[in-house]
Chains A and B, each alone.
Chain A
Amino acid sequence: MPQATRGEIISALKKGVRTAATPGEARVVPLGCEPVDMALSGGGLGLGNLHEITGEAATGFVAALLGRLQGQVLWCAGRHFARPLYPPGLARFGLDPDRLVLARPRDKRDALWVAEEAMKSGALTAVVLEADFTVPLSASRRLQLSVEASWCLGLLLYRGEEAKISGATAARTRWKISPCPAPPHTQGPCWRLDLTRNKGGPAGQWEVSWHDTSHRFDLVPEIADRPAGTQDAA
């Protein structure tokens, strides 16, 4: 078989497989919880966009989002961070640790460089930048431009105090994820999602629970039957 036609055949095959696999370009990550997805333009967290996530339960939420995606993920966290990521716990959120590449930059400058390079490369479906510093507006704009080019999901995971998050950002959404009491008989964690900033959509607040086996979010009923002191004693 001649060399040139071989390449053509492969690209044609790839195209065929791609169109068969994804009917209609799905360029969002739906949370699998209708009211939340409705608030987001496109029906989910947009790929090719930057999203800021903060709050006590941010790590779990990020892991859950990544778990709803396919493909390789880069997680960038400074090497001095306390409480590093613990891979064996990620599988519960659908994020297979084998899909993860961890980058440990030395300082803030390297961290931003790593995130930008990774977002631009087109080799990854998502990039998480764990930051304990304020990402300035100009830097967030650079990151936003990088993800736009590659259709990769950019997540900015803020750690520590909320005060670090400045007002201005180029990110499309900003979330605050905090734990909330679970109604009885739910297995997974329950979180309050505070969508404080949403370009082209309303802000909102939901209480959701994460379902370990189906890997999706369920809305916690408004009037939950929560007797205090319920225990599943062993």
Chain B
Amino acid sequence: MPIDRLARRTRHDWNTGPLAITAETGNRIFIAAVNALAEHEGIQPGLSLADARTLYPGLAVHKADPAADAAFLKYLARWCRQFTPVVVLNSPDGVWLDVTGCARLFRGEANLMAAIDARIAELGVEARLGLADTAGAAWALAHYGTGGTIAPPGKSREYIKDLPVAALRIDAKANATLKRLGLDRIASLLPLPSAAIARRFGAASLTRLRQALGSEPEPLDPLPFRPAFTARMGFPEPIARSDDVKAALEILTARLCERLEREKFGCRRLAFTIHRVDGSTQAITAGTSEAVSRPEHLTFLIEEHLDLLDAGFGIEKVELRMPVVEPRTAVALRLTDAAEPVALPALIDRLGNRIGFDNVLRFAPADTHIPERAFSASAAAWMSAAPNAWPDLPRPVRLLEHPQPLDAMTPETFSLHGRSHQIHHRQGPERIAPEWWWDDPAWRSGPRDYWRIADDDGRLLWVYRTANAPPKPGVSWYLHGVFA
């Protein structure tokens, strides 16, 4: 499969010469997969790269990309949805199709297998098929059978009994033990008492055997079926007026929202694309903070940016897509708020889409005494207005980013910006110590004594004195905030 993926990606026929895909474990580079020509040269998966090069110096080598392989397998699995809705990934290189009830559509299982075989070959992917009553037996037939084998209902046992025990998906250790004992066919395991198998070859081996035979269920996790929410509208005559585009947008949104409503989904991201007469496309995308299914809300998000679109010589098709949808969760009904509870998320979405979601914030208290870090601000879109416990401390309403030094501080006067002020009233001190586990450059001067002072004009200021060594000689008082 990695080679097929490589061939599809590079659009190159790699079957002109021996090719190997290599993987690394630790310092060792070994062969992970080979094509038919390389196999012919005697190169097998598991060989080290140096040995392979000795066998065939002209070997073409590509590095394995497990992530891309996994993605390709997922793509193949989705592609297989044309045969059945229930598709299960079997990493790293297999896919199970539950074709119960689907064979009828292809006039029989043999035809279905032929269709899968033909279409997957068209895709340029080499595949081996097997069909049986259980996932385990089908796996055995596909991996160790002659290829394309169909075990008729109830006959799985006969079909797999001549296969090697490795076809049971047992681990390498159990496999080696079985081989050593001469039990190399599944048939040789069948007469043994199950307790003995479990004891000698591990409970997992017994489970696999029973799963292949259908006497124990095997839970499979099919790929989630993600419905595609897309609506398109073509025009017999190209349109260009923004009102027309808007009308089309409204119709498409209404259509999709009706479906969202019915299927209990909500839209998280949407994209509106216009296809122009000259063949180019332009798109507007928008995101929402929660699953939304109200057409007005979604229309608004797109409408705002419609003027960014350039109709050019006309628009012949528009498309509205919701790439991300989520099941809607129930929202508790509120009776007291005059405002609709949906109005605020809608507003946050509109603001966020224009000025950026990280610029629409909500606050939460932080667990620290350091004033600069006493609260955290996070995107309002991902936060609810949860009731937080804000500490009840005398704190200013505005905090200076950089504390300003106060000159000539005496118990009665101080001077700020060269102007002298009388101290009318003072309260304190409140000692705040730096956190030793957090090296904050501003707090290297040690603990601070905070005072609230009122000057003769009635200004309330939050000032502090560094209790220990003053950072600048002569200056030990700073203004840190104002109360009002």
**Chain A residues with a Cβ under 8 A of chain B:** 10, 13-14, 17-18, 21, 56-57, 59-61, 63, 71-72, 74, 79, 82-93, 96-106, 110, 113-114, 117-118, 121-125, 179-182, 189-191, 228-234
Near A by CB (< 8 A), chain B positions 391-409 give: 391-401
A179 vs B459: C-alpha distance when bound (angstroms):
5
Residue of B nearest to A106 (CB): B355
A–B pairs, 23, beta carbons within 8 Å: A10-B333, A14-B335, A56-B459, A56-B484, A60-B397, A83-B400, A86-B398, A86-B399, A87-B363, A89-B398, A97-B375, A98-B388, A100-B363, A101-B360, A103-B355, A114-B355, A117-B347, A122-B339, A179-B459, A181-B454, A190-B458, A230-B424, A231-B424
Q: Contacts A98-B387, A181-B424, A234-B427 given; indicate if A82 touches B401 (C-beta within 8 A).
A: yes
Q: Are the CB atoms of A88 and B375 closer together than 8 Å?
A: yes
Known contacts A89-B397, A179-B458; 13 additional CB pairs below 8 A are: A10-B335, A14-B335, A72-B344, A84-B401, A88-B390, A88-B393, A89-B399, A96-B390, A103-B355, A105-B355, A114-B354, A121-B346, A124-B339
**B58 / chain A contacts, CB cutoff of 8 Å:** none
Q: Contacts A60-B483, A85-B398 given; indicate if A118 touches B390 (C-beta within 8 A).
A: no
A91 vs B388: C-alpha distance when bound (angstroms):
12
Shortest Cβ distance from A129 into chain B, in angstroms? 13
Q: Are the CB atoms of A232 and B425 closer together than 8 Å?
A: yes
Q: Are the CB atoms of A101 and B362 closer together than 8 Å?
A: yes
Residue of A nearest to B333 (CB): A10
Q: Is B122 an interface residue (CB 8 A)?
A: no
Give the contact-size bracket for chain B. 35 or more
Q: Are the CB atoms of B351 and A103 closer together than 8 Å?
A: yes
**A228 / chain B contacts, CB cutoff of 8 Å:** 456
Q: Chain B CB within 10 Å — which of A89, A104, A125, A230 has the most?
A: A89
Residue of A nearest to B344 (CB): A123
Shortest Cβ distance from B353 into chain A, in angstroms? 11
Contact among B340, B359, B375 with A105 in the assembled complex (CB-CB below 8 Å) = B359
**A179 / chain B contacts, CB cutoff of 8 Å:** 457-460, 484
Q: Contacts A88-B375, A89-B396, A97-B390 given; indicate if A229 touches B335 (C-beta within 8 A).
A: no
Shortest Cβ distance from B187 into chain A, in angstroms? 62
Q: Is B481 an interface residue (CB 8 A)?
A: yes
Q: Are the CB atoms of A87 and B343 closer together than 8 Å?
A: no
Contact flags B339-382 to A (C-beta < 8 A → 1, else 0): 11001101110110011000111110100000100110100100
**A103 / chain B contacts, CB cutoff of 8 Å:** 351, 355, 359-361
